[in-house]
Structures are given as C-alpha cells and as structure tokens.
Amino acid sequence: MFVARKERPKRAVYVRGTVACQGCRQPIHIYRLAALAEEFSVRCPACGTRGFHARRMVSVEQLPERRRKPRA
C-alpha cells in the first residue's frame, strides 16, 4: 500500500533575462532563456526598434514566486 508523505511545497523561483535597448536604453525582459540562440533579435516595447543581441549580454534575474494563493 502506498502512503503519501506530506512534504513542504517547493518555492518556485522564476528566472528572466534582461537586455538593454540599443536605441532608448530601456530594459527588455526575456522569459524563455533556454530557447535563446547565440544571437537573437527582440523588439523594444518602449520605442519599437528591433536590435540584435548576443546571448552572453543577457543579465539573469531571479524573481520570487508569482502565485498569490498557494497550491493545494
């Protein structure tokens, strides 16, 4: 018979990357870091320009869990 053990839930840490726009220097957030190529292109949400960025130029930020209600 299988008896489930009650464990503390893991706190999820969300990771996002940030690059600076080449035109207006506003931060551009990237949420799927694993899918990035060595060189990628993103559009700035503030000014609308599109620029090429290298993967090594991405700074990584760790964010706390986004849920307001804990999982059941």
Report the helix count and the strand count for the chain, using DSSP H and E: 0, 5
Tell me the pairing of strands 27-30 and 14-20: antiparallel
Task: List 44's β-bridge partners, or say none.
Answer: none
Per-residue pLDDT of the chain (72 residues; tens, 9 = 90+): 566 666 655 656 678 899 999 999 999 999 888 889 999 999 999 999 999 999 999 999 887 766 666 666
Give the per-residue pLDDT at 14.
Answer: 78
pTM as predicted: 0.67
Query: Tokens in use for 63?
Result: 């964010």
The domain locations on the chain are 14-63
Give the per-residue pLDDT at 5.
Answer: 63
Beta strands in 1-72 (DSSP E): 14-20, 27-30, 39-43, 50-54, 59-63
